[in-house]
Structure 1
């Protein structure tokens, strides 16, 4: 097991790439660099990074395609960098499975805050580096949620959730029946207060329903509370002791 967390930075702007690299290395990360999409994808397969920081507009292969390809192979956290401010572009990245996005121009300090917030949730073995790892496993009907291993099973089959999908599910599952506003969930998804629009929460909830609901178009577990947000509403609940 390597001792240093590894970040793959895929960015074609040399100045941005150099500034980000210096800040990442200053914080103790090993950084793998790529200046175009195809090289970025090859480096992902070769280097097994702990986090991918990925520009959207890239020569050869754009960030959306790389993010989609990554999600076919792995649940490694992905942060997207974009010069586009349009909501449709941000939602596109989240729909494809990105965990976070940052709009250019951005502060390197904000970038590193987001990097640390994402990686703090998962250690090198994929185990949450929080007090959750000592919590009991949760059981709801045919669903099992194991905070220590960050594992979810539906009818004894593993559900492959991203970091943020698991965080949102665990938060709601620990408080069944409680209504969470989109703003509350948005703060958990990003880990910091941000003016990002709540459509990101809508996208994440849709992806989560597709992975855990029998019929995502008529969800039973993750229910919409119109005009407010969402609640987790299992039929039965028990906790392993």
Structure 2
């Protein structure tokens, strides 16, 4: 089942609820907003994978909201509009929308567009050869920016020491690979490991306290008993 988070923005409650029903049936997580301003607030606070954005809304319309979202975000945006004129479509797409669908629409067609945009977007962001994303590593709700040494958990910046960051980067770059304590120490500290050295364990514990919701039952950095540590695939 899908776990991507989709924001549905429309001033008509019936349309928001209809779209929610179809998307929830596919396993998507849904957030809803009734105008552009409310949508911007949600985008600032939460990680959104795709936005379905109505053009005609009070307070802030979809065109203006799309332009403001595009100043900082790159997730797919599908525009909805009751107007079918070519000029409206052109305006929507030139302000940063990825797709456009007119009302009344077939919910199954909208669902197909959503799946298509998400496939393209997620493939792009998970492609290690993509130059614009080569310094970004994502692990579910964790975003690791190698260039800026910044880590976000649920879109909140978490301050790590340089060693903690290096350990997280090592495990995140090699998801599924188990590293023993000796190997982690040699790769991160670049020194010979001593048998009595518990430095790695202390750093792992502190790292879990910062990024894990429940450090005693870690979701991200797993212990392979008798072997070492890993980040699951």
TM-score bracket, normalised by the shorter chain, equals 0.5 to 0.7
Q: CA deviation at 1:149?
A: 3.9
- Which ranges in structure 1 are unaligned for 5 or more consecutive residues? 129-147, 154-241
Contact 2:19 2:107 in 1 (8 A): yes
Q: Is the alpha carbon distance of 1:34 and 1:149 closer, same or farther for their aligned partners in structure 2, counting shifts above 3 Å?
A: farther
Partners in 1 of 2:129 and 2:102 — Cα distance?
A: 32
Q: CA deviation at 1:123?
A: 2.4
1:19-69 deviation per Cα after TM superposition (whole angstroms, max 9, x unaligned): 100111110100000012211111111112000110001111000001000
Partners in 1 of 2:118 and 2:129 — Cα distance?
A: 15
Matched residue, 1:167: none
Matched residue, 1:151: 131
For CA contacts below 8 A with separation 6 or more, give which structure has more relative contact order.
Answer: 1
Aligned residues: 132
Matched residue, 2:33: 34
Contact 1:9 1:54 in 2 (8 A): yes
1:196-225 deviation per Cα after TM superposition (whole angstroms, max 9, x unaligned): xxxxxxxxxxxxxxxxxxxxxxxxxxxxxx
User: What is the RMSD of the two structures over their aligned residues, measured on CA atoms?
Assistant: 1.9
Q: Is the alpha carbon distance of 1:108 and 1:74 closer, same or farther for their aligned partners in structure 2, counting shifts above 3 Å?
A: same
Partners in 2 of 1:19 and 1:149 — Cα distance?
A: 38
SS state at 2:121 partner: coil
Q: CA deviation at 1:122?
A: 2.9
Partners in 2 of 1:43 and 1:152 — Cα distance?
A: 25
Matched residue, 1:119: 118
Partners in 2 of 1:46 and 1:152 — Cα distance?
A: 23
Matched residue, 1:56: 55
Contact 1:126 1:149 in 2 (8 A): no
SS state at 1:97 partner: coil
What's the TM-score once normalised by structure 1's chain length?
A: 0.52
- Which ranges in structure 2 are unaligned for 5 or more consecutive residues? 134-233
Q: CA deviation at 1:151?
A: 2.8
Contact 2:66 2:95 in 1 (8 A): yes
4+ aligned runs moved over 4 Å, structure 1: none
Q: Is the alpha carbon distance of 1:152 and 1:38 closer, same or farther for their aligned partners in structure 2, counting shifts above 3 Å?
A: closer
1:82-126 deviation per Cα after TM superposition (whole angstroms, max 9, x unaligned): 111111110001111110010000000000000000101232881
Partners in 2 of 1:111 and 1:17 — Cα distance?
A: 13
Over alpha carbons, which structure has the higher Rg?
A: 2
Partners in 1 of 2:129 and 2:88 — Cα distance?
A: 33
Matched residue, 2:72: 73
Matched residue, 1:140: none
Partners in 1 of 2:123 and 2:31 — Cα distance?
A: 17
Q: Is the alpha carbon distance of 1:60 and 1:124 closer, same or farther for their aligned partners in structure 2, counting shifts above 3 Å?
A: farther
What's the TM-score once normalised by structure 2's chain length?
A: 0.54
Contact 1:11 1:34 in 2 (8 A): yes
